[in-house]
Amino acid sequence: MRVEVQLRVVSGDGEILCDDAEVLALDKRHDRLEAIGLSLAEGKDLLAGVQQYLIATQATAFVTERRCCAHCARPLRSKGRTSLTFRTPFGNVPLDSPRLHRCRCTDAAGPQTFSPLPALFTSHTAPELLYLESKWASLVSYGMTVDLLKDVLPIDARLNPKTVRNHLHRVAVRAEAALGDERPNFIDSCQADWRELPPPEGEIVVGIDGGYVRDWADKKDHFGVLVGKSLPRDRQDRYLGLVQSFDAKPKRRLWELLCSQGLQMNQTVTFLIDGGDDVRNLAAEMAPYAEHHLDWFHVTMRLTVLGQFATGLVNHDRNEGERIARDLLRIKRYLWHGNSRAGLLWAEGLVDELYGLEEDCAYPKLKAFIKTAEEFATYIRRNGEPT
């Protein structure tokens, strides 16, 4: 069968702006599964065809409205034409851009001719193309972004990773410029104001974790990164990632993330943090009803190491080892139930116990055990304090 797709564009007052333009003509079979419906290539041709006619018609309508003088309505004389290309997710669209003489009824200073179209095409790349390029290039490589877009869209065949990279950077610079100032404290109202607020939507939980990434250029070097994930009850999760040594506005970035989740000053925000100073500082002074909890993963990681030392001690000195292992279990229970005060007391007691073993016990890893236990007690002490 033969399929012909034609396009007709009609203006608001019924005038036909583009009539029966042939967008696509296909000879389709109906005896094989692969032939049923539009193929990817045919779908891309269809979108590209509609886009060409639609944009050309829109550009013509825009120019037509500016062909007469806005003051005396006389038609403006033509002064040749140039061309411009509009890049869209559905292909590049070449356009004629006519140049017109200004009307003699105005004696305004400046050039005697002008082109109307640049006032419409303030950018030669469609915002949605920039959006798709930036979105995918932030998830996969620039090269894969190009391949992916070309797979599903009739995008310009010349699109290459370098162009995507340039576009992404341009979008990033714009997004950065739109970001407000950094502040040490984002709580700028008082309790009386919070009482006036409507009830918040629900609790927001934000997990923030720090880590190190190897420098791509200097393989021996590492730099610290912070990543976070916000989990509000009724909205989509949002993510945060930043390089602290480089970022001038880390708190503002977290603040904007919370605002995008509908944060209100009367809302409970729970921060699950890894206990590092950088993460604690980042999450501090964000909301009056914020709670900061140590992420259990990081507590249990340290407890596991202490447990391994205790097992070693059991093999060396059964009685002392089992006593220490019981203390560890007790610390774990207190911390699990949120009693950091008791957990800290017992952690400090553990350090004292281990020091007491120094004289008589020949466990070879005792010094390392003491050091790890001391670090653990410091960790609990710091994170038990209100931020």
Residues that bind Zn ion (CB under 5 A): 69, 71-72, 103, 105
Tokens 């116990």 — which residue? 353
Minimum distance from CB of 119 to Zn ion (Å)? 18
CA dist list (Å): 232 to 38, 118, 251 = 41, 43, 19
Backbone φ and ψ of 212, nearest 5°: -120, 140
Closer to Zn ion at the Cβ: 72 or 197? 72
Write down how long the chain is.
387
Minimum distance from CB of 115 to Zn ion (Å)? 18
Angle at 130 between CA 170 and CA 144, to 5 degrees: 100
The three-class DSSP label of residue 343 is helix
Closest CA to 79 of 113, 103, 105, 106: 113
Beta-sheet pairing, 290-294 with 113-114: unpaired
Minimum distance from CB of 96 to Zn ion (Å)? 24
For 103, residues 6+ apart whose C-beta sits below 8 A from its C-beta are 69, 71, 72, 74, 76
Sign of CA dihedral 365, 369, 372, 375: negative
Closer to Zn ion at the Cβ: 65 or 221? 65
Question: Burial letters for 267-283: b for 16+ Cβ neighbours within 10 Å, e otherwise?
Answer: bebbbbbbbbebbbebb
Closer to Zn ion at the Cβ: 3 or 70? 70
Minimum distance from CB of 113 to Zn ion (Å)? 14
| Burial degree of 33 (CB within 10 A; 0-12, 13-18, 19+) | exposed
Closer to Zn ion at the Cβ: 72 or 227? 72
Minimum distance from CB of 103 to Zn ion (Å)? 3
Closer to Zn ion at the Cβ: 21 or 69? 69
Closer to Zn ion at the Cβ: 104 or 233? 104
Closer to Zn ion at the Cβ: 113 or 304? 113
Two structure tokens written together for 77: 């004389």
Q: How far apart are the first and last CA of the chain?
A: 72
d(CA 205, CA 106): 62
Minimum distance from CB of 72 to Zn ion (Å)? 3
Minimum distance from CB of 61 to Zn ion (Å)? 21
Minimum distance from CB of 172 to Zn ion (Å)? 45
d(CA 203, CA 263): 9
The three-class DSSP label of residue 48 is helix
Minimum distance from CB of 181 to Zn ion (Å)? 48
Neighbours of 90 (CB within 10 A): 21
Closer to Zn ion at the Cβ: 106 or 304? 106
Closer to Zn ion at the Cβ: 100 or 129? 100
